[in-house]
Amino acid sequence: MSSFFLQSDFMKYKRILLKLSGESLAGSENFGIANNKVIDYAKEIQAVVQEGVQVALVIGGGNIFRGNDENVIDRVQGDYMGMLATVINGLALQSGLEKINIQTRLMSAVKIDELAEPFIRRRAIRHLEKGRVIIFAAGTGSPYFTTDTAAALRAVEVNADIIIKGTRVDGIFSDDPEKNKDAQQYKKISFDEVFNKKLSIMDMTAFTLCHENSLPISVFNINKPGNLLKLVNGEPIGTQVYV
């Protein structure tokens, strides 16, 4: 079954990059992959794909491997382990999406031909044009870079209209809303304000890459059903960072 749909005239964005944390796949557990979360996220993505929106996806690997004692595993080796964790998560999401008849391609920044295509920019764009969901795995392929940076880089490379970061809170706040009930949510905020207020959204490399390429960022709660579709429709969901 083809996953290609004509884009609705009501969609605000034609091509998005969705960034998810690896921990989001663990659900209520602290590690591993929860099958119900794979299906939940697959259905959220399906809803926007069926409206003709082109979707690229980057997911972290923190549910499988996060941090290490550099006295045991050095930083570079640990970063490569994290890249492999993102491949595992990518395979899980690919399976979940294909179970509900969404065509996908898993593209890896590290050569792993038996499991994924190599990342080739023109090929990735062509997949998106054909309505396939692209899952970018293995980060940038180099140590010392986070999956936030990988998401920003891939979003710029495939000419995404926006990078959308799914979290477990409703957007960007003046303080951690899970620790401070009086924290105020920003509905819209500029890149300069984020810098000045020292708000933590992405690592600085990723954030600067978005800023320099005038790529807006939206932060929203991925765990509320229907939120992704509402956001792509242009509804005021979460927080948007604008240039």
pLDDT tens digits, 106-126 = 999 999 999 999 999 999 999
Average pLDDT (52-72) is 89
Q: Of 66-75, 129-138, 159-168, 190-199, give the lowest mean pLDDT range.
A: 66-75
The rounded percent of the chain whose pLDDT value lies above 90 is 84
Average pLDDT (222-235) is 95
The span from the CA of 133 to the CA of 102, in Å, is: 7
- Please say if the pLDDT value at position 2 is more than 70: no
- Please say if the pLDDT value at position 6 is more than 60: no
Give every CB contact of residue 243 below 8 A, 6+ residues apart in sequence: 190, 191, 211, 214, 216
Residues in a beta bridge with 219: 165, 239
Instruction: Specify the CATH architecture of the domain 15-242.
Output: 3-Layer(aba) Sandwich (3.40)
Q: Tokens standing for 188?
A: 């819209």
Q: Domain residue spans in the chain?
A: 15-242
- Please say if the pLDDT value at position 238 is more than 80: yes
- Please say if the pLDDT value at position 233 is more than 90: yes
Question: What integer pLDDT is reported at residue 1 of this predicted model?
Answer: 40
Question: What integer pLDDT is reported at residue 3 of this predicted model?
Answer: 44
pTM for the predicted model, two decimal places: 0.92
CB 88 within 8 Å of CB 137 = no
Report the candidate in 149, 225, 239 with the shortest Cα–Cα distance to residue 194: 239
Largest CA distance in the chain: 55
